Structure 1
């Protein structure tokens, strides 16, 4: 018989136990160098458990009739962003829950390299990662026009922004958002990889874009 899913009370108790253990391990700071690595491990355990608890709370909130708008407002994100993080979409082709697992383990690194190549004009290198449709559509003229539009909005590119790339699975695609910093505002690069791990889309959009 399969194990039943954890309850809200059980997860809360486990999180409290892990948090207490972490607090106790910090009581004797300063520590010796190896002990700091143990703090990292314990902190990661607490973070993972908190994420599980948050997912269960969102699920139960949805079961109780709350909307994605309410949940998004509480979390400080759009309803679409909340759904993408916590929702359980059903594939209309199969009637089965869609796989949200990111199987492309190097998606963030590859996306950063591709965005860097495009921004710095190394299009021959960037195009090696494009699928056939993007390869045909993403001409030098399209690149130049797109970058000019962004420059007109937020000025010159200054570098990558703060925060880690955000990687998730949306439908059949692995999508990576990368923070970008410009002289008059922030943007983000969005790279979508298809099932063959080729670039199926590349955009620079405002940071609040879901």
Structure 2
């Protein structure tokens, strides 16, 4: 769902109406609900909720509240709150930066590349690297990095719970992939450049913004 030009009060009223419609269908003891209608209404409620949240965050910012306060309220870091709701200005052009993710297969590709690196299938992984990463990400660099992670959380066991988190940061599409290790959780961060080549690959603690 795209951002709506409707004011917050109108959006909230529409959200209330759709939520009431959803509750009414679920509460009817006489007939079975039309399940596809439930999915349709729930999807609209979800989209409206996101728009209302964005506008509420913007009003908080306009009222002088900090990203730290907003992040604390939402249970995320101030950087994560800014990345989700902020409107950064491109210093090169003075225009708002485009946060639209156009790389539709970013999550699937990030999983493939991260697991290839972790499993040692480097010939496969390197086919997606850009020139800078290809030159810098040697076997020695890979093994040193994996050794550091192993010292923290032990052996890699597989993909973690949850879905990959995809967003656009500047000129890059960035994906965080949850990973499971024997003594803790980590995440692989894969950054793709404008040509959809890998421009960065890191193993990070899950709370890293």
TM-score normalised by L of structure 2: 0.94
CA drift of 1:144 comes to 0.9
Q: Give the structure 2 partner of residue 31 of structure 1.
A: 32
Gaps of 5+ in 2: none
CA drift of 1:159 comes to 1.4
1:137 and 1:39 mapped to 2: Cα distance? 51
Structure-to-structure mapping, 1:38-53, within 5 angstroms: 38-53=37-52
Q: Give the structure 2 partner of residue 95 of structure 1.
A: 94
Structure-to-structure mapping, 1:11-26, within 5 angstroms: 11-26=11-26
Structure-to-structure mapping, 1:1-210, within 5 angstroms: 5-28=5-28, 31=32, 35-210=34-209
2:111 and 2:38 mapped to 1: Cα distance? 30
TM-score normalised by L of structure 1: 0.94
1:205 and 1:94 mapped to 2: Cα distance? 32
1:176 and 1:41 mapped to 2: Cα distance? 28
1:162 and 1:182 mapped to 2: Cα distance? 12
Secondary structure in 1 matching 2:177? strand
Query: Which segments of structure 1 move beyond 4 Å, counting only runs of 4 or more?
Result: none
Q: What is the count of residue pairs matched by the alignment? A: 205
RMSD over aligned Cα, in angstroms?
1.4
Gaps of 5+ in 1: none
1:62 and 1:132 mapped to 2: Cα distance? 40
1:130 and 1:28 mapped to 2: Cα distance? 55
1:42 and 1:140 mapped to 2: Cα distance? 51
CA drift of 1:5 comes to 2.4
